[in-house]
Structure 1
Amino acid sequence: MKVIVSGIVDLSTIDYPKKCSAVIFLHGCNMRCPYCHNLNHILGHKKEMTVEELFNNIDFFFADAIVISGGEPTLQKDAVIEIAKYAKEKGFPVKIDTNGTRPEVIEELVKNNLIDYVAIDVKCKFDKYKEFVKCKEDGEEIKKKILKIIDLCKKNNVFVECRTTFVPMVMDKEDIEEIAKTVKDCDLYAIQQFEPKDAYDEEFKKLPMPKEDELKELGKIAKKYVDRVVIRTINGVFEI
């Protein structure tokens, strides 16, 4: 079968915690997050190839794990399944990055022992979803789907991370508190520093980057609900 790929990073030290990974960016996305740093590239570049051709294009000299990312990789369900199978056959642990809107794909990965780590991007307060990320689905419906994925992972011993990119002036501590309350059963909650220079929306390029101290205070709010909280910034990762 053919997969539609927008890019490959042969070696990343940040996409799979505590591992060096090769990252596969699958084409397409069902959201238009205004702060996204790679949406233009994901939508503007695509190449069809077989899974075998895909892996032959990756230099595995240092990588010891595979990350399937996007865009939204679960839009290509069959491709995700085949990539994960191939990676597992080669002995690689597999992580997937998702916005949580296709829990049925994660369920198939989990039930077939094809996934080790699921990272869910939780964008904002759920009543803001439609306006903020321009998605078709209602925020409450997405909330149910995210909770389904967390429950699925916890019951099957798959590490599940939830993460939020904090954007000043359009988000506040109420967003973080509501998200943390919702995803309280995840293994890790990460608050990520918004970087305006690469934002998809031109207006968001004018917004300030949140300061580390501000993010750490938000982390303390999240820590009331989630056992393990980290802050990811351009200067590194900080445990709260």
Structure 2
Amino acid sequence: MKFAGLLKQSLTDYPGKIAAVLFSRGCNLRCPFCHNAHLLVRPGRNDAAAGEIEDLELLAFLQERRGFLDAVVFSGGEPTINPELPEVIRRVKDAGYLVKLDTNGHNPLMLTKLLADNLLDYVAMDIKAPLDYKKYLEASGRLSPKDFFNVRAAINLLQTTAIEVEFRTTVIPLWHSPEDIAAIARYIEGARLYCLQQFNPRTTFDSGLSSVKPYSKEELMEMARLCRPYVDSVRIRNV
């Protein structure tokens, strides 16, 4: 499996751990607010992309960093569109590392396999909008009915697992009212952690969002207050 990039050290992507972050290329969605737009499209089979990292290079790097790094985060793009992902994660686990997966939840079958095989220690799932098909489609850029069904299935799956799970939403005034955020919290009622992420208009797939003013810290704090009756913990990020 090829990866589009590697962040060799992060103190923020795996809470409480020192982690390397791997970025896979390709995604089934086209969220207008995506801040990794350069990772949305995979190169063709015969195309070489500058800076790509092979899984063997990754494993060599991890062997060198044993005792310094605690974990590896698989991010993207959307990692679960790659059928080779479970085998790569297995090798990383065999090397002694914790594994965190960042996902949009469109592939609950792979997620089920990874959990059943004890290959994940932490999952962060993005919830794009309230769990209404029309609203979710608007926030996702494109979304098949099957993908929408899979998102809900992934949420239900993650609500039953014993590993660490966070749900998170990037909050954008165009798509998210305080009532919308509260509706998401109600849908994931009983979740251990829900993170509200500040929108950054400077790094988006849709350049037209550059003029959109993000919510203030105070407004996000009020949204967090609305969520707290439904989830154990609410955090605000990037403010």
- What is the TM-score with the length of structure 1 in the denominator? 0.87
Percent identity of equivalent pairs: 36
Which of the residues 55, 65, 73 maps onto 2:59?
55
Distance 1:57 1:42, change over 3 A: farther
Distance 1:120 1:75, change over 3 A: same
- Give the letter aligned to residue 136 of structure 1: L
Which of the residues 71, 76, 80 maps onto 2:77?
71
Contact 2:129 2:180 in 1 (8 A): yes
Distance 1:188 1:93, change over 3 A: same
- Give the letter aligned to residue 51 of structure 1: D
Task: Quote the residue 1:20 is aligned against.
Answer: 18
Whole-Å Cα distance in 1 between the matches of residues 87 and 225 of structure 2? 40
Shift of 1:135: 2.2
Q: How many residues align?
A: 229
Task: Quote the residue 1:238 is aligned against.
Answer: none
1:20-59 deviation line (CA, Å, top 9, x unaligned): 1100111100111111111224537746654222232466
Distance 1:144 1:178, change over 3 A: farther
Q: Helix, strand or coil: the match of 2:180?
A: helix
Shift of 1:195: 0.7
- What is the TM-score with the length of structure 2 in the denominator? 0.87
Which of the residues 106, 123, 135 maps onto 1:128?
135
Shift of 1:168: 1.7
Whole-Å Cα distance in 2 between the matches of residues 57 and 93 of structure 1? 15
Task: Quote the residue 1:222 is aligned against.
Answer: 227
Contact 1:109 1:115 in 2 (8 A): yes
Superposition RMSD on alpha carbons, in Å? 2.1
Q: Helix, strand or coil: the match of 2:41?
A: helix
Q: Helix, strand or coil: the match of 2:195?
A: strand
Contact 2:2 2:55 in 1 (8 A): no
Shift of 1:19: 0.9
Unaligned runs of 5+ in 1: 235-240
Whole-Å Cα distance in 1 between the matches of residues 184 and 127 of structure 2? 7
Whole-Å Cα distance in 1 between the matches of residues 90 and 158 of structure 2? 18
1:210 aligns with 2:215: yes
Unaligned runs of 5+ in 2: 44-48
Task: Quote the residue 1:237 is aligned against.
Answer: none
Contact 2:25 2:39 in 1 (8 A): no
Higher relative CO (CA 8 A, sep ≥ 6), structure 1 or 2?
2
Contact 1:166 1:193 in 2 (8 A): yes
Q: Helix, strand or coil: the match of 1:152?
A: helix
Whole-Å Cα distance in 2 between the matches of residues 166 and 9 of structure 1? 25
1:69-95 deviation line (CA, Å, top 9, x unaligned): 1111000032x2022111111111101
Task: Quote the residue 2:38 is aligned against.
Answer: 40
Within 5 A, what are the aligned runs for 1:67-216?
67-78=73-84, 80-125=85-130, 126=132, 127-138=134-145, 142=147, 144-216=149-221
Whole-Å Cα distance in 2 between the matches of residues 124 and 151 of structure 1? 16
- Give the letter aligned to residue 72 of structure 1: E
Q: Helix, strand or coil: the match of 1:43?
A: coil
1:183-229 deviation line (CA, Å, top 9, x unaligned): 12322100000011111111111111221111110001111211111
> Which structure shows the higher strand fraction?
1
Contact 2:106 2:154 in 1 (8 A): no
- Give the letter aligned to residue 59 of structure 2: F
1:115-155 deviation line (CA, Å, top 9, x unaligned): 011111000123312222122323xx556534433443454
